[in-house]
Amino acid sequence: MKFQALILAAFCALVLYGCELPAASPALKLKSRKERVFHKPDTIAKVQSKDTIIIAAVGDMMLGSAYPDSSKLPPDSAKQSFTAAKPYFKDADIVFGNLEGTLLDQGNPATYKKNLTVAYLFRMPTYYGKVFKDAGFNLLSVANNHITDFGDTGCVSTTQTLDTLGIHYAGLDSCPTSIFERDGVKYGFCSFAPNAHTIPLLAIKHATGIVRELKQQCDIVIVSFHGGAEGALYEHVPFKMESYMGAKRGDVHQFAHAVVDAGADIVLGNGPHVSRAMEIYKDRLIAYSLGNFCTYKSVSVAGVCGMAPLLKVKLNKQGEFIGGNIIAFNQSHQYGLTRDTLNHVAKRIKLLTEKDFPEAGLDINDNGAIVPEN
């Protein structure tokens, strides 16, 4: 009997200490399996963050307008709009651009824009939203003078479409900021313009408050603005308040420096429909205008207006500028967006930077490579 008792005790010890869990607790065993297979890797992914962040940024995008009819829409339903640029987006954590218009299937212009020329009322079909998504865009500014072309209906339709596609955006009274996380990095985004129903570019104190609050919550803060006078005569940063057609369009230099002081890690300008200079301020990159990028009809692409830069920037996890490239494109109403192997826009931005910011804190070579000055 003693021998049998010893055998029984040994067997019980093996069951108790040699197995992962008692067989009598199947629910508990399932929970443990979930913790091993799913929870632990997720926890590691959230803790680890990238040391280098890549941002691809472009300027104004407007893929045609269905108002008052479809004659100003591209013949391929805009599907090939970004074919030339898409390969350059693939390694970027953030792909950004300014959405110059609404995503709306039907509707009439806002009453306060009834006197605006039909050619400058932009209403893209909502299914064009997928064109931006498929190209790789995950962050868009909606702060500009065309987001309200079709009133509240256009704004709501645009933001709902972007929500459905999972594209982040900001810049309206109804959506001033956006906070999101990718690969363990928490991003904050805000966008400003001197136009009705957008977050005001001219109210710099208010803008810096928004940026400061975002920086308290996020690792990297991206700021966009739509400002400055428009057209080929306005390539230079004037270092003063700009106006266009009787409306104040901001002192973009003062604004950009103020938001960096408040915590912005990169400032991306648009609005003049031409490219402008760049500078480094407090180790942060400011691009004063990225010009036009992909605009189908209605927007002039003659001369310098047709030079389309794609800016790729590397930041460290503190938000400091490491380096980057200006990848040159041209666009025409006939051929759309095409790669410019002669790098005209990179050379143009280099020239503008040397003229406007002789101590810009960066060097741009003729191939578009951007490096901090030693």
Residues 11 and 78 reside in one and the same domain:
no
Residues 88 and 30 reside in one and the same domain:
no
Residues 8 and 69 reside in one and the same domain:
no
Predicted pLDDT at 20: 35
Predicted pLDDT at 48: 59
Instruction: Tell me the whole-structure pTM to 2 decimals.
Output: 0.87
Residues 83 and 29 reside in one and the same domain:
no
Predicted pLDDT at 24: 34
Predicted pLDDT at 1: 45
Range of the domain at 124: 49-372
Q: What are the residue ranges in the chain where pLDDT is below 70? A: 1-48
Residues 179 and 231 reside in one and the same domain:
yes
CA atoms of 362 and 161, how far apart (whole Å): 38
Residues 115 and 244 reside in one and the same domain:
yes
Query: Which DSSP string corresponds to 63-114?
Result: --B-SSSTTBS-TTTTTTTTTTTGGGTTT-SEEEEEE-SEE-SS----GGGT
The count of domains in the chain is 2
Are 75 and 81 spatial neighbours (Cβ–Cβ below 8 Å)?
Answer: no
CA atoms of 101 and 261, how far apart (whole Å): 31
Predicted pLDDT at 146: 96
pLDDT in tens, 267-290: 999 999 999 999 999 999 999 999
CA atoms of 206 and 212, how far apart (whole Å): 10
Residues 25 and 84 reside in one and the same domain:
no
- Please give the DSSP secondary-structure letter assigned to residue 328: E
CA atoms of 27 and 50, how far apart (whole Å): 37
Are 161 and 103 spatial neighbours (Cβ–Cβ below 8 Å)?
Answer: yes
Residues 212 and 280 reside in one and the same domain:
yes
Predicted pLDDT at 374: 76
Residues 32 and 59 reside in one and the same domain:
no
Residues 30 and 58 reside in one and the same domain:
no
Residues 235 and 320 reside in one and the same domain:
yes
CA atoms of 271 and 144, how far apart (whole Å): 8
Are 336 and 329 spatial neighbours (Cβ–Cβ below 8 Å)?
Answer: no
pLDDT in tens, 22-47: 333 333 232 222 222 222 333 333 44
Predicted pLDDT at 242: 98
Residues 286 and 358 reside in one and the same domain:
yes
Predicted pLDDT at 116: 75
Report which residue type is found at 16: L
- CATH number of the domain to which 353 belongs: 3.60.21.10
Predicted pLDDT at 50: 85
